[in-house]
Structure formats: C-alpha cells, structure tokens
Amino acid sequence: MRRSHDKSPVREGAQTADGEEDLVEVCGERVRVPGLKGWLKAIDEQGYVLIPDWLDAERTRRLRVALRRDVNPIRELLPPHHTTVRAHNLLAKTRCVDDLVADLRVLALAQGVLGYKVQISAAVMFDLLPGSKAQPLHQDDSLWPIPRPHPPFLFNTVIAVDDFTKANGGTVLVPGSHLWHDQKVRQPPDVETTQIEMKAGSLVGWTGAMWHGGGANTTPESRMAVNLNFNVAYLRQQENQYIGVPREEVAKMPERLQRVLGYQGGYSAAGPGMVDLRDPLLMMDKIRFGYDVNDPAMPKLGP
Ligand SMILES: O=C(O)CCC(=O)C(=O)O
Ligand SMILES: [Fe+2]
C-alpha cells in the first residue's frame, strides 16, 4: 500500500536510509522509532497492527483519571441504546491527550502508512458501557466520497484505556479487507473476523479502508479508549479542528501539536493549507480584514 505513494516528490514518515530502517523524519525532526518497519509491514500485509505497551502503566493510569475527570462529566450517551459514548473534539475538552496526538511515534506510523504529512482527523473518547451492542462492520474512509480503489488517506488508532477483551467489546477487524477495493462491506457470519484483545496502554492501528467495528460489551464494566485518527494533510479533517478547538487554546499548544491540528501548509508555498502563500501558523495572529502583506511585521513568503 505504501508503494502507491512512491512517486511523491518528498516522502516523509517511512523514508529510511539502508541500515537505518527505523530512523525517519517527522514534522521536521529526525527520530528513531524502534519497531516502525515491522509495524508498517503488518499494516501493509494485514491492514492493522497491535502494539502492546504503547503507553506505560503510569501514563495509562493518568490518562484514565484525566478522562474521567475532564470528559465523563460532559459526555453524551448516543441514541438509540444510550450505552456508547463517542466524546468527539477531545482537544477542546481536555489537555490529557495532547502528547498522544503529537507523539512522534504515532506520527511516524501514520506518515509511513499514508506517505505524506499528516494531521489529526478526529480525536475521540470511546466508552462502551455495559450492554453496549456490537457496531456493524464499516470502513471509516467511506466518510470521504472518494472512489475506490484509492491510496490510503486515513489511519486510525485506538489506545486501550481499559483492557480490551472479547467480552467487553474489543474491536472487531477483518484482516486483509483493506485490499478488497472492489467489495462492499459484508457482516459476520459472511466474513471472517478477528477480535482485538489487548491490555490497557496498548495501541491498535489500522488503515482507513479496513472493515472493522466495535464489539458488544457483555460485562458489567465499561471499555474506555482513546481513538485518534490521522489523515493526509491535504484533505479535509473529519472533525473541523479550526472551529472545534478555540484559538486561544491553540495559541498555547506546542508547535508540533498546532501543526498536527491542521495549522500547516503543503510541500510548497502554494500547497493546500497556506494563507496568502505563507505558513498558516505564522499568519494565525496576523490576519485582520484588509491586512497588508507588505507590512514588515508580516511573515516572509514561503511554506
Ligand atoms: O469501538 C471500537 O472499537 C471501534 C469503533 C469504531 O470503529 C467507530 O466508532 O467508528
Ligand atoms: Fe470505525
């Protein structure tokens, strides 16, 4: 699947020199991501990868506490059954996932799969409460009306905050289905599935064309997770991050997070995302109606 992008003029993410398989450039930084090559191979071949211990126990515990504190009181139970939570637009509700969104490892993984600069498409807290029903299998990339076959443009991740088990609704995946471009999604028992079981702190990542769905939670405990989906930076995000995340919060964020949020241009000064041929991030606090690009306080031309 990555091969489809090999003609890109510049290729970030999975670009590796011989013998430096895990050394990649992400958001302008050279970074070593041990395991990256194997993760990308798994995604190429089966459509997904399961990475245990993505977060250590202490980080996972802090994440759980912070989600319960910041998001649970303002969450919404979705109809018709009112047993699942999809708390969208997380970056406007808590600061507890900032480091997960700007994590160089996940960005390297997303860039490796997508072959281009990436941005956060959706940041969501999933909670399957007791009694939650199984979701129909679906493809998240069908949210964009792009004819198939198409190169991968969406990469999904789910980080387990609670252990995922078959009984509490571990994600159901159809290995290999990311390559079935000519087929409509079928439901079990018409298709063979696998169900993700993973310890809290693990990450499962899959490419957007993959058939998948949340399982049914038949236990008395909830199954909490953080879902971070990334897409190529030249496409529109699923969540409108520019409206969704208040500007004053964006202004306080570290630069890499601002960029991943969508405040970044393309590979050239005129590429998608620019403002008046300039870096959008540098223009953020400069724009007033009738502004003059010749003003010496304006950013220089360029991406
Ligand atoms: O809950 C899960 O494991 C997956 C949910 C999902 O795929 C979705 O909401 O689009
Ligand atoms: Fe989904």
Record the tokens describing residue 6, joined without a space: 């090999």
Distance from C-alpha of 25 to C-alpha of 257, rounded to nearest angstrom: 16
Strands (E), 114-267: 118-128, 154-160, 172-173, 194-195, 203-207, 212-213, 223-232
Return d(Cα 102, Cα 214) in angstroms, integer. Answer: 25
Under 8 Å CB-to-CB from 91, ≥6 apart: which residues? 97, 98, 101, 120, 123, 241, 244, 245, 249, 261
Statement to judge: residues 237 and 292 lie in one domain: no
User: Does 292 share its domain with 171?
Assistant: no
- Closest atom, ligand 1, to C-alpha of 171: 3
What atom in ligand 1 is closest to the CA of residue 86?
A: 9
Q: Is the pLDDT of residue 10 over 80?
A: no
Which ligand 1 atom lies nearest to the CA of residue 84?
A: 1
176 and 89 in a common domain: yes
Give DSSP secondary structure letters for 136-168: PPB-GGGGS-PPSS----EEEEEEESS-B-TTT
167 falls within a domain: yes
Round to whole Å and give the CA distance between 293 and 145.
36
Does 3 score more than 90 pLDDT? no
Q: How far is the CA of 157 from the centre of ligand 1 (A)?
A: 10
- pLDDT digits over 237-283, tens only? 999 999 999 999 999 999 999 999 999 999 899 999 999 999 999 99
Expressed in angstroms and rounded, the spacing between residue 227 Cα and the centre of ligand 2 is: 9
* Domain shared by 296 and 154, yes or no: no
From the CB of 140, is ligand 1 less than 6 Å away?
A: yes
Enclosing domain of residue 281: 275-303
pTM: 0.93
Domain-located, residue 269? no
157 lines ligand 1 (CB under 6 A): no
Question: Structurally, how many domains does the chain consist of?
Answer: 2
Q: Whose CA is nearest to atom 7 of ligand 1?
A: 213
